[in-house]
Copies of this chain bind each other. A is one copy, B any other.
Amino acid sequence: MRQQPSFTVRELAERVQGRVEGDPDRRIRDVNVVEHAGPEDITFLTNRRYLSDALASKAGAIVCSPEEQVAGHTLIRHPHPYLAFSRLIDLFRPRPERRVTGIHPTAAIAADAAIGKDVNVGPFCVIEAGARVGDRVDIGAGSYVGEGVHVGDDTRLMPRVSLYAGVKVGKRCILDSGVVLGADGFGYTPGPEGLPVKVPQVGSVVLEDDVEMGANSCVDRALLGVTRIGRATKIDNNCVIAHNCEIGMGNIFVAQSGVSGSTKIGNGCTFAAQVGLVGHIELADGVMVGAQSGVTKDWPKGSVILGSPAAEIRFAKKRYAMIDKLPDLREEFLALKKRVAELEKKVAG
């Protein structure tokens, strides 16, 4: 067992600039999730679904928002409780310092590839001619860095990532196992025989700084020009971004979402899981899209949408509610029809 550091609640609150409510001298030795936390653990409450768990928790302290009601517990209140708790994770569970192990002797690196300072290249990596790899980059085992690829400083490729020729990746990006950047866009046109004929995809892919991509996600090469993923956009596992998309900054794509070709997305949008966007549409900044939605048209700034086809969320929810009441509506309709028939009889009679 490693020796955990320990802090008082007061010390922790100071570090995250939060406000203590309850016992500031209580000693905390670890972070934990609400249901497993013990008297020397600090936990967090950011989702009201877990309020009863928090009330029943044995945690020594709880990080929560300024207005949350959590009677009987020592609290650290913070306007951004999840951000504050993140810092406590870093404090109690510091990740190991990055070690510079250098270039593994098995790596196959082209003579003219430019490799920065303090770079790690894992076993069985390939770095092709003309590639430029920045400082402090990690290239995980078995990754492929194609001809002329650029990888920015402090970027980390986990094992088994593929960067096709010409792709550009910014600084401080994180690409998980199975990520593929720069495969040909999916472009075909009917040939003389009627069978699909490949349309050459001669563009590229650009990931700006601080982009993260989850396992087995991919971004395709543009037909012409580039497919661009803007700064600090975060993409979860098994997502697909098609050719010629232009994605802005700070967007969130949850798992298994896909964006069809040439679609443009502003900044700060959120796409819950398994969302699909058709091609050739534009979403402005701050659009929020519910899980499994199918987005079929342009949406203005700040739209909150849901469903397939996606509609403004209040309408979408009304629509769902109406669908659920359809059997009732049908019954009521038949009853009314009967009443009308009786009236007709009376009036005729």
Residues on A close to B: CB < 8 A? 31-33, 36, 47, 49-50, 80, 82-83, 85-86, 89-90, 93, 95, 104, 106, 108, 122-124, 126, 140-142, 144, 158-160, 162, 164, 174, 176-178, 180, 183-184, 186, 188-191, 194-200, 202, 210, 212, 214-216, 218, 220, 223-225, 231-232, 234, 236-238, 240, 242, 244, 249-250, 252, 254-256, 258, 260, 268, 273-274, 276, 278, 280, 291-292, 294, 308-309, 311, 315, 318-320, 322-327, 329-330, 332-333, 336-337, 339-340, 343-344, 346-347
Instruction: Please give, as numbers and ranges, the residues of chain B lying within 8 Å of A196 by CB-CB distance.
Output: 232, 234, 250, 252
Contact flag A258-B273 (CB < 8 Å), given A108-B106, A142-B124: yes
- Given contact pairs A195-B232, A202-B93, A36 touches B178 in the complex (Cβ within 8 A): no
Smallest distance from the beta carbon of A186 to chain B beta carbons, Å?
A: 4
What chain B residues lie within 8 Å of A249 (beta carbons)? 195
Q: How many angstroms between the C-alpha atoms of A281 and B89 in the bound complex? A: 24
Q: Is the CB of B141 within 8 A of A126?
A: yes
Q: How far is the CB of A258 from chain B (nearest CB, A)?
A: 5
* Nearest CB of B to A203, in Å: 9
The 7 closest A-B CB pairs, nearest first, are A180-B215, A162-B177, A322-B326, A144-B159, A82-B189, A195-B232, A108-B123
The residue from B90, B106, B180, B197 contacting A200, defined by CB atoms under 8 A apart? B90
Per assembly, the copies of the chain total: 3
- B183 adjacent to A162 (CB under 8 Å): no
Whether A330 touches B329, Cβ cut-off 8 Å, given contacts A188-B252, A216-B216, is yes
Q: Which residues of B contact A33 (CB under 8 A)?
A: 223-225, 244
- Shortest Cβ gap from A4 to chain B (Å): 13
- CA of A339 to CA of B347 in the docked complex: distance in angstroms? 12
Give the nearest-CB partner of A335 in chain B: B337
Given the interface pairs A191-B83, A340-B343, the reply to whether A276 lies near B291 with Cβ below 8 Å is yes
Closest to A104 in B: B108
Neighbouring B residues of A176 by C-beta, 8 Å: 180, 183-184
Q: Is the beta-carbon distance between A141 and B140 smaller than 8 angstroms?
A: no
Residues of chain B within 8 A (CB-CB) of A47 are 280
A122-B126, A327-B319 in contact; A215/B82 too (CB < 8 A)? no
User: Given A199-B89, A224-B33, A236-B186, are A258 and B260 also a contact pair (CB < 8 Å)?
Assistant: no
Interchain CB contact (< 8 A) of A308 among B189, B242, B292? B292
- A31: nearest chain-B partner, CB-CB: B224
